[in-house]
């Protein structure tokens, strides 16, 4: 089945065309097209995403991206649209556009959950390919039980998965999401939005042991996270040490976040006997996090999965995957903006 998917929940306008096949035991996704138009430049002067500006940009970008698709690419069976979570005006822009499109093309429209999209981005093969290969070139398939860490700008969630569609939420952030902490600390260091990639760049040149920032809730029995205290510690440290090197601050902050994420995820992997550990969400683009979690996962005997680099941050290909799996489950989501939808 060919799915045209649209994603407008935050500051990326994305349209993808994905060929989906297989059942819930082994769904396969071949990404034929994944166009992402970033609004970063429009929001940068404001230091973060402005919801009404995001809506305006989506309304401007969607018809432009639509025109880039050729007639042959428009042989499709279904249209998928993100209905939440996200910014309400941004979500509505995509929903209204897809409703009109579905009517015009006389195709069914399926609502999809953005967070399920991130989770299932681990099932997307690299662009144009049918199979998922690991870094050694070996064909891989997620085995259950699995533990999944979803880390984005709005969420930090740890799941124990029995199967593709049945999971228990082990924990989530009690305050700031991991990506949000990266963005806020970046602002303290006068780095542009979005802060995650900027911190990562600086951190490569710094000493991660320079400042011993707290590792919030690392020793806590629960699987919940909290990054707000860490963010405040960085703020006070900068105030008290105005000459501290930005590279060292970035590296030390990043290390503190990584230690918590990796520590809790691998503890969960051991406790639940995970055969696979899955990382996803915008923060999963962070190479240091990927390396640390890969190494720690391999020590538990589980296999480590992270989406191909095009699918870490927001994209519509993952929305096609979420919509397809939702369809296989015979479930549906209301076609209206649901800003607080969760996993
Ligand atoms: O999943 P995503 O694209 O959008 C949301 O659903 O929120 O995630 C965006 C978040 C931002 O907070 C951004 O700073 C963070 O992901 N991010 C990173 C990196 N690339 C993006 N954080 C750390 N290191 C990165 N390389
Ligand atoms: Zn996202």
Tens digit of pLDDT for each residue in 185-243?
999 999 998 999 999 999 999 999 999 999 999 999 999 999 999 999 999 999 999 99
Nearest CA to ligand 1 atom 8: 282
- What is the rounded distance in angstroms from the CA atom of residue 186 to the CA atom of residue 214? 17
Q: Is the CB of 283 under 6 A from ligand 1?
A: yes
Q: Is the CB of 153 under 6 A from ligand 1?
A: yes
Q: With the CA atoms of 286, 288, 291 and 292 taken in that order, what torsion angle do they form, in degrees rounded to the nearest 10? A: -120
pLDDT digits (tens, 9 = 90+) for 83-104: 999 999 999 999 999 999 999 9
User: How many angstroms separate the alpha carbon of residue 228 from the centre of ligand 2?
Assistant: 20
Is this prediction's pTM over 0.85?
Answer: yes
Q: Which of 87, 309, 312, 313 to mutate to test the pocket of ligand 1 (most atoms within 8 A of CB)?
A: 313
Domains observed in the chain: 2-129+310-328 (3.30.420.40), 146-307 (3.30.420.40)
Please, are residues 209 and 252 in contact by the beta-carbon 8 Å criterion? yes
DSSP state at residue 107:
-
Q: Stretch 125-136: mean pLDDT, rounded?
A: 69
């Amino acid at each position: 089945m060919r799915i045209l998917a649209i994603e407008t929940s935050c500051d990326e306008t994305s349209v993808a065309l994905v060929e989906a096949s297989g059942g819930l035991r082994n769904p396969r996704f071949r990404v034929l097209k994944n166009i992402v138009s970033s609004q970063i430049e429009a929001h940068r002067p404001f230091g973060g995403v402005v919801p009404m500006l995001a809506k305006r940009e989506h309304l401007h970008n969607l018809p432009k991206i639509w025109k880039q698709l050729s007639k042959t690419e428009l042989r499709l069976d279904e249209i998928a649209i993100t209905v939440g979570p996200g910014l309400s005006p941004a979500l509505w822009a995509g929903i209204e556009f897809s409703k009109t499109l579905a009517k015009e093309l006389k195709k069914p429209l399926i609502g999809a959950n953005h967070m399920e999209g991130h989770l299932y981005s681990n099932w997307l093969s690299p662009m144009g390919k049918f199979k998922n290969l690991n870094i050694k070139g070996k064909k891989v398939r997620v085995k259950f039980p699995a533990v999944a860490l979803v880390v984005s700008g709005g969420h930090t969630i740890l799941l124990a998965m029995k199967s593709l569609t049945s999971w228990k939420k082990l924990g989530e952030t009690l305050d700031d999401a991991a990506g949000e902490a990266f963005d806020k600390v970046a602002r303290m260091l006068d780095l542009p939005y979005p802060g995650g990639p900027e911190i990562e760049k600086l951190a490569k040149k710094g000493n991660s042991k320079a400042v011993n920032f707290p590792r919030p809730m690392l020793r806590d029995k629960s699987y919940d996270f909290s990054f707000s205290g860490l963010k405040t510690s960085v703020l006070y440290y900068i105030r008290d040490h105005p000459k501290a090197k930005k590279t060292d601050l970035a590296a030390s902050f990043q290390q503190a976040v990584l230690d918590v994420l990796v520590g809790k995820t691998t503890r969960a992997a051991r406790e639940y006997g995970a055969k696979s550990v899955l990382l996803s969400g915008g923060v999963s683009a962070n190479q240091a996090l990927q390396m640390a979690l890969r190494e720690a996962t391999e020590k538990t005997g589980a296999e480590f999965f992270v989406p191909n680099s095009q699918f870490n941050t927001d994209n519509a290909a993952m929305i096609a995957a979420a919509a397809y799996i939702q369809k296989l489950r015979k479930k549906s989501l209301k076609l209206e903006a649901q800003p607080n939808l969760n996993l």
